Chains A and B, each alone.
Chain A
């Protein structure tokens, strides 16, 4: 079955004029026939439902197209058509769950996506009502703190790797460790933050800052990677021109290298924030659940949107529908935030792209 280059070459040279192909009308007939048989078969199998008709018709179409092509165009073209059907078919098949995720979030999230959801907290709310104001504030505080902790460190590490530590032992060690950090499961980061803050705050302590530390463990390697990639893209000519003018190295980095790469770096930071803002597991462990707004990250539990969404299902209260609706609304809010951050990252990348890279 293996397609060797020789075989292809032979086919090309021995039959250059033998290009009988399936005509457009032939293909239309195959499509129509598979649809008709699809409807008929699904009626036999238990009622005409759109999903069943499309599924059966798609399988029939793939098979019929393959057989027709096999007869008319030969084995190689037939396999090509078969693979095109398979690849396109898998793509469409996979779209179904992904579209369903988005659609369900919008559909179910819309029920409580109202004014009260953004202006009220869960304080004293047992059944219906309440809102996510406390969770939104918590998300902003914890993610903001995580960014404050990890952005400077991330950028400086990348500067060290690219500008100072090329090829030395420390930098190769750091590169390896950044790789390892990228792979830390988020719940392990949460356990780490918990273990760390237990020392200061005693067993069972939960706080916003612990959550922020957990998130920054997840965030820093992403920022290092993105920044490193961007700094390596900055042309050496720029650095050398700056040195030639007698500008010291650190000033060259701060005034020439970093500004040139600023678009890419900001994009990387935005994407890193988008990644961690939806993290649930580490915050569940390190920051816990609170019913009211907590503005002090140093003490007391602090709720975030994903954690609220999780508890909306796990502990919905009575009637459960109200809790489910709140959970979905929190999920929808998160998706929208991620979407906005992604779009922002794109815009930043476009606007701040240095002229040389356009």
Chain B
């Protein structure tokens, strides 16, 4: 469930088609992933998923797999 939501958030924030957010999506594969959109991503994930992402993790959310893993940790 989270996977789908995360991908939807990423698709909206980065303004790319949902199908382009694959499991291997990362800063390398999404050209729109700049620093401003990265901060928007954090805020959108927190709002959509009802979580609080710790400051020390903000810089680590650089691939879809890492986002999924960190979101999962934040929900514990």
Indicate, yes or no, whether A interacts with B.
Answer: no
A residues at B contact (CB < 8 Å): none
B residues near A, CB below 8 A?
Answer: none
